[in-house]
Every structure is written in C-alpha cells, then in structure tokens.
A and B are shown apart, each in its own frame.
Chain A
Amino acid sequence: MDYKIISSTCSYCGCGCGVLFQVMDGRLIDTLPMKTHPVNEGKLCIKGWNLHEHVVSDKRLTSPMLKKNGQLQEVSWDEAVRTVADRLTSIIEEHGPDSVGVLASAKVTNEENYLIQKFTRAVIGTNNVDHCARHCHSSTVVGLAAAFGSGAMTNSIAEIEDAACIFISGSNTSACHPLIARRVFKAKEKGAKLIVADPRNIQLSRFADVAVTQRLGSDVAMLNGMMHIILKNDWHAKSYVEERCEEFDAFKAVVEAYTPDKVEAITGIAQTDLKKMAELYATNTPASIIYAMGITQHTTGVDNVKSCCNLAMLCGNIGVKSGGVNPLRGQNNVQGACDMGGLPNVFPAYQPVNVKANNEKFAKAWGKDLPDQIGYTITDMTQAMLDGKLKALYVIGENPKMSDPDQNHLDKALEKLDLLICQDIFLSETAEKADVLFAAASVAEKDGTFTSTERRCLRVRKAIDPIGNVLADWEIIAKLSTAMGYEMNYAGPEAIFNEMASVTPSYAGMTYERLGLDGLQWPCPNTDHPGTRFLHKDQFTRGKGLFHAVEYLDPAEMPDDEYPYFLTTGRMFAHFHTGTMTRVSPHLNTEQKTGYVEIHPEDAKALAINDGDAVKLATRRGQIELPARISNKVKPGLLFVPFHFAENSANILTNSAFDPIAKIPEFKVCAVKVAPAGVKGTPHV
C-alpha cells in the first residue's frame, strides 16, 4: 500500500483554506482540513471537504479535441496545438492582433495567469486579456485604488475575530465564505457588535445587533445616511480625517443632504435602525467592513465601494488591525489573476500598460515589443464579437455562457466568432461550443500558487498524476506559444514563479521555499520581508486617503407595470459559480439538484403559487421556468434566483447594463415578471 498526504489549497472560494489530499496507491481518495493552517485552523466548509470529488469525476475531459464535421473529436496534443497556432496566426495576419481576445482565469494558478497575459501581450500582440474579476470585483479594484491607492482587502481574515464591530453589507458570508463567517461568529463570542445589511434575510442577520433589508441597489443612500448621522453626532475621527485624508469638505457637503427621512424613502430602512447602525459602527473601534457582490455588481459598483471607503476613513478604521474595508473575493485565485495582470490595462502588480517605463521594462524582460493600447474588457469583447472586430476568443478555465449577463445576447456574439478555443477540466456550456478544446489538469494534478482574498500567496501541490491525456494549463500555454514562434521553455511552475516575482514588486520577496505551508501576504517586497497583514499603516498607499462625494443613483432597471418585481441573483452554500465543479460532485449535488426562485409568501399567495410549483420568470432579455421556493428570506416584491444551474440559468434574465468606469454588469438588480407555469410541484423540505 502506498499512502501519502499532500498539502495544498482549496480551489473553490477565495478564503484560501489549507487542505490535505489523501492519496492511496496513486488515487486521490479524500480531502482533509489542515489543522494548523492560519486561515482555516482545521475546519473546512462542505465544498472543501468534498474538493477531491470533482477531480476524480468521470465527467472530466481526458483528451484535447477538435471540432470536425460539427462534432468534437479526440486528437493528439500536437494536432490540437498546431491547429490553434496556425489558425491564430492566420487571423492575426488578416485582421491584426486586436482581433484576438483571451480570457484568463480565476481558477488556475498565478504562474498560469502570468503566462496567459505574457502570451497575450508578447505572442498575440494585444492587451485584450481579461477575466471574471470584471464580473465580481472590478469595481473594488477601481474604488479602493481611487480612495486608498491599492485595490485589495485591507486587512487579514484572522483579524476579523478581534474587531469591536463588524459591518457586513452585500455578502452572504456564511454561505459563500464560510471560513470567514467563522471569524465573524468568533468575534461575536468575544463581544463584537454585528451589523448586517442585505436585501435578503441571510443567515447572519439572525446573529446581528441590527439587521436591515435595504431596497435593492440603494447602498449609496444607506451609507451616506449613516455618515450623515455620524457627522451630525460628532462621532467621526476628526484628527485622523484631518491628518490622513483629503477632500473631506466636498464629501461632507454631499452627505449633509442624506437626512434619515430621505434615506428611509430610498432604502426602506427605518430611521431608528439607520441611527443604530451609524452609532454601532462609529462608536465601536476597530470596526471592519466586509462586503461582496451585493456592493460591487451594480451600475454604481464603484460608487458603492467608494462609499464604503468614505465610511471607514470617516471613523479612522483604515491602517489599523482588525479594521479596514474587506472585499471578499469569490474565487480561489481571482486576487492572483488580477495581481498577475490578467486585465487589459495593467501588467503584473497593476503596472499600467500605457506607461512608457512599464512597457519598456516588460518588453526588455520578455524580449518583445509590447502593445501599449489598453485592451478590451470582457464587457467590450461581447460587443466587439457582434461588431465583427473580435474574430477569435481563447477561454481558459471560464464559462462565460453561464457567467455573463444577458445570455441570449452573448450566444449571438459567440456565434459570430471564427475561432473559439476553450481550455477546461470539464465540458462546460461554453466548451461545448468550442472549435478546439484543450483538456487541462485539475488542482490536484499540478504545482503552483493561488493568492487568496487576504492577499495571501499559498502553494498548490501536485498530489496525483494527471488523469487521462491532460496537461497543466501552463504546459498548454507554453506549447502553444512555442508553436507560434515564441519559445517558452520553463522547467516547471517554480521557474515561472521566479520570473514573475522578478517583475512584480509586491511579490518580489516570495520564493516557493519561503511560502512554506502558510504562504505570505503581499506586499512582500524583499526576501527579508515577513509579508503584510494589514495595509495603509501610518500612510495610505496613495499618500492621503481620498474622500469621494458620491450621490445616489437608481439602478439601471427599476420595476414597472410590465415587470413589477425586483430580481436579484447569487450563490447558495453547496454550489459554486456555474456549477461545473460542484454539480459533478455527488455530496454537493445532492444538497441542491436544480435551480429555484425564492418568493415571499404574500406574493406567492397573490399569484396562487404553491411551494414547488413551476413558475415562469421573464425579463426584457429572456425567460426561464423553475420551481418556486416560498420563503421569508426575501421581502414582498423581491425574487432571488441562484445562478449555478444551466437548465434554468439566471443569467438569461440579468441585465448587461454596466458601471461606466469598472464595466461590471448589474447582475444584482433587474425588473422581472412572474407567473405560474401551470405545473404543480413538490414542496421544498
């Protein structure tokens, strides 16, 4: 018997929990939580405990494939890579490098993301590289960078349990980031005050000192209202604001207009609750703000983030242990994919592509002239496909057919492509449409690093040999690059990591040896640096913290006579994103096998809908049919649909209207109508 234990990192959410893979005679048989890990301390959520199940699923892709006569057929790696190299080369020759787009991935390693953006820039010759961060936290990156100078979670996960107050807004933390919710519960046990603001009654609301269900998309008004009360009561940190921040007066002038009655009219939050929220946050320091997609996925996503920053600065909560503005990143390596430059405007470590010195630095390092025009975002790519400007799309570890808003619109765009290349571990809804399919190795079959939501760069270790004729993503990109005339000969992920660290100042002090089992948090500028637990100590990254004067704006689409309900979308605890990994995992799939819509009992009664009955939801973009779940989690007039399920995909309904700066779509709000579909169902237990 050959039995071994390999330490690695969970590849579901952004918490970065340490796992141990149990391997028996070369087979991956189980996942255990790492007892001494600084993030999860021997605990895992249901997804982490079952991490191995998707790896060993018989639905895994096991060979590269080419579409021949309309069918995907297994081919050799040489044939698949040669075909893509030849077709990309001819598209570039005919239409120019900007006719190609690449989607990097929040699921693959830092090393692989580094190579993806290097391949896009140095081999294809375009900055058209983006990834799903556009859809989750692009507004965070823009908003935090504008206010503080750095677009990442300011504090650390472990610090949350020592906060005196925790304000959670737009994050269903116990369902989506369970090992961060654990720190919130620990903080409560230690006496912290908890404020929860969410349009739904989420689990954490039950534990809150004050919980409110603000009207969908009204966050700026709510936050301005809290700050209005704080200023009126003189609860703000005057000397902190004076010494460490700027543009306070313009901000104050706007906030003065957000009186409690005006805010109640917009948000539906009772004035007494708003006052309690303001008082708890301002008078219990350090206070930590935690948020997720409920803040970011709006046409006002950047404004929402800036308002969170305003509140934290107003009360002196930035640059202090257990305080901060803490966006929870949804995917295991979405932070890393951003850090590595999987974005159309920046090289690794957010060095702008259109700054001459940066461009020259990377051109020298990579031995190639590089484009200096900012490329297409994902949002731009859809329109460019429809306009015939984008001819080829290379999708790595993403499933845009399920994850992008207004699915019918995207389907039309994908049909216009001359070449769709997908690289995945499963035949996702997008991969089904590919002309060429590269079969990739899973998290247990390769080495590398992920960077978690708290900026912690953590090792991923190979536990088993690849299942089938698959290659690690970095090997595929290196092969393709070499086939296109730009040699990439890396001995392995460590060599790629070392090259990346040499051009990425925030990772410069990291090596595989130094990362060990608990990783290092950036910035880590040199090999003696211990990493950084919280940012902006003594001084903001940009010098002074910048207040923004932010006015409330309505969402792009509000209910009306034709579409009288609000619709919001999100995750549920057992599934992850587009379901490609969790729906093939037996222990997760059994928790929830298909989609559903939450509807308030009063609305259900008015529409003669019983629990479990099939209902039709329709928006201006499309319609779906799915079972009703009658629930007090939503208020009258609000419906909720989880977005994991292809057969009743929530993103057929969602609005592609986007934030003008971050270009993040407004997944969280649209107007919908609902009607019984005439099929009686079984009540949900």
Chain B
Amino acid sequence: MRQQVKAWLEQGTVNILLGYKLGQGYPLPCCFTKENLDEAAELIAGRARYFLI
C-alpha cells in the first residue's frame, strides 16, 4: 500500500492522499503529497476514522 501510494503521488495519478500515520503512538490524519514523498513510508491502515475539512 505504501509503495502504491508513493507511486501514485510520484506519477501524479493523485495530487494528495488523505490517510493516517502514527504520531507518538496514535493514528493521526495526514495529508500525503508529492512534496513530502518520504512520509508515504509512514502511512498506516487501522480502525481510526476522522472526517476531515
């Protein structure tokens, strides 16, 4: 999943992806973008759900 997201962002398939990453042990919403590609390695899946914006 992480590699797929990274590839989509790199190729411009998507401009942003709203997902989750761990912040001090807790899943927090994160906006993954091409500008911060390295963050894609921190993408996680889990049960946390936030509605955003």
A35-B48, A517-B24 as given contacts; A20 in contact with B29, CB under 8 Å = yes
Measured CA separation A183–B15 after assembly (Å): 42
Question: Could you tell me if B48 and A516 are in contact, using CB atoms closer than 8 angstroms?
Answer: no
Q: Check B53 for interface membership: any CB of A closer than 8 A.
A: yes
Most chain A CB within a 10 A radius of its CB, from B18, B24, B33, B51: B24
Question: Could you tell me if A517 and B29 are in contact, using CB atoms closer than 8 angstroms?
Answer: no
CB contacts (< 8 Å) of B48 on chain A: these are: 35-36
Measured CA separation A32–B18 after assembly (Å): 15
- Give the contacting residue for B50; candidates A1, A3, A32; CB below 8 A: A32
CB contacts (< 8 Å) of B50 on chain A: these are: 20, 32, 35
A29-B53, A35-B50 as given contacts; A5 in contact with B24, CB under 8 Å = no
Q: Check A677 for interface membership: any CB of B closer than 8 A.
A: no
CB contacts (< 8 Å) of A517 on chain B: these are: 23-26
A29-B53, A32-B50 as given contacts; A3 in contact with B26, CB under 8 Å = no
Measured CA separation A22–B53 after assembly (Å): 7
Q: Check A24 for interface membership: any CB of B closer than 8 A.
A: yes
A3-B53, A22-B53, A29-B53 as given contacts; A36 in contact with B30, CB under 8 Å = no
- Give the contacting residue for A5; candidates B15, B16, B30, B51; CB below 8 A: B30
Q: Check A7 for interface membership: any CB of B closer than 8 A.
A: yes
CB contacts (< 8 Å) of B49 on chain A: these are: 35
Closest Cβ of chain A to B14, distance in Å, is 12
Q: Check B28 for interface membership: any CB of A closer than 8 A.
A: yes
CB contacts (< 8 Å) of A30 on chain B: these are: 53
Most chain A CB within a 10 A radius of its CB, from B16, B18, B25, B50: B50
- The contact string, 1 if C-beta is below 8 Å from chain A, for chain B 6-17, is 000000000110
Q: Check B1 for interface membership: any CB of A closer than 8 A.
A: no
A18 (CB) vs chain B CBs: closest residue: B26
Question: Could you tell me if B16 and A1 are in contact, using CB atoms closer than 8 angstroms?
Answer: yes
Question: Could you tell me if A516 and B24 are in contact, using CB atoms closer than 8 angstroms?
Answer: yes
Question: Could you tell me if A24 and B30 are in contact, using CB atoms closer than 8 angstroms?
Answer: no
CB contacts (< 8 Å) of B18 on chain A: these are: 3
Q: Which of A23-75 contact B (CB under 8 A)?
A: 24, 29-30, 32, 34-36
Measured CA separation A518–B25 after assembly (Å): 10
CB contacts (< 8 Å) of B25 on chain A: these are: 516-517
Measured CA separation A29–B52 after assembly (Å): 10
Q: Check A4 for interface membership: any CB of B closer than 8 A.
A: yes
A37 (CB) vs chain B CBs: closest residue: B26
Measured CA separation A35–B53 after assembly (Å): 16
Question: Could you tell me if B29 and A5 are in contact, using CB atoms closer than 8 angstroms?
Answer: yes
Measured CA separation A24–B53 after assembly (Å): 9
CB contacts (< 8 Å) of A22 on chain B: these are: 52-53
Measured CA separation A516–B24 after assembly (Å): 6
B51 (CB) vs chain A CBs: closest residue: A32
Q: Which of B17-40 contact A (CB under 8 A)?
A: 18, 23-31, 33
CB contacts (< 8 Å) of B27 on chain A: these are: 35-36
Question: Could you tell me if B31 and A4 are in contact, using CB atoms closer than 8 angstroms?
Answer: yes
CB contacts (< 8 Å) of A20 on chain B: these are: 28-29, 50
A3-B16, A4-B31 as given contacts; A34 in contact with B26, CB under 8 Å = yes
CB contacts (< 8 Å) of A4 on chain B: these are: 30-31
Closest Cβ of chain A to B24, distance in Å, is 4
A3 (CB) vs chain B CBs: closest residue: B31
Closest Cβ of chain A to B40, distance in Å, is 15
Closest Cβ of chain A to B52, distance in Å, is 7
Question: Could you tell me if B53 and A7 are in contact, using CB atoms closer than 8 angstroms?
Answer: no
Question: Could you tell me if B53 and A5 are in contact, using CB atoms closer than 8 angstroms?
Answer: no
CB contacts (< 8 Å) of A5 on chain B: these are: 28-31, 52
Measured CA separation A3–B33 after assembly (Å): 10
Question: Could you tell me if B16 and A7 are in contact, using CB atoms closer than 8 angstroms?
Answer: no
Question: Could you tell me if A36 and B26 are in contact, using CB atoms closer than 8 angstroms?
Answer: yes
Closest Cβ of chain A to B8, distance in Å, is 16
Measured CA separation A517–B53 after assembly (Å): 22
- The contact string, 1 if C-beta is below 8 Å from chain B, for chain A 516-555, is 1110000000000000000000000000000000000000
Measured CA separation A554–B5 after assembly (Å): 70
- The contact string, 1 if C-beta is below 8 Å from chain B, for chain A 567-600, is 0000000000000000000000000000000000
A32 (CB) vs chain B CBs: closest residue: B50
Question: Could you tell me if B28 and A7 are in contact, using CB atoms closer than 8 angstroms?
Answer: yes
B31 (CB) vs chain A CBs: closest residue: A3
Closest Cβ of chain B to A17, distance in Å, is 14
Measured CA separation A32–B50 after assembly (Å): 8
CB contacts (< 8 Å) of B31 on chain A: these are: 1, 3-5
Measured CA separation A518–B30 after assembly (Å): 19
A1-B16, A20-B28, A20-B29 as given contacts; A7 in contact with B52, CB under 8 Å = no
A-B contact pairs, 19 of them (CB 8 A): A1-B33, A3-B18, A3-B53, A4-B30, A5-B29, A5-B52, A7-B26, A7-B28, A20-B28, A20-B29, A22-B52, A29-B53, A30-B53, A32-B51, A32-B52, A34-B26, A35-B50, A36-B26, A518-B26
**B residues at A contact (CB < 8 Å):** 15-16, 18, 23-31, 33, 48-53
List the 5 closest pairs (A to B, CB-CB), nearest first. Answer: A3-B31, A516-B24, A36-B26, A517-B24, A5-B29
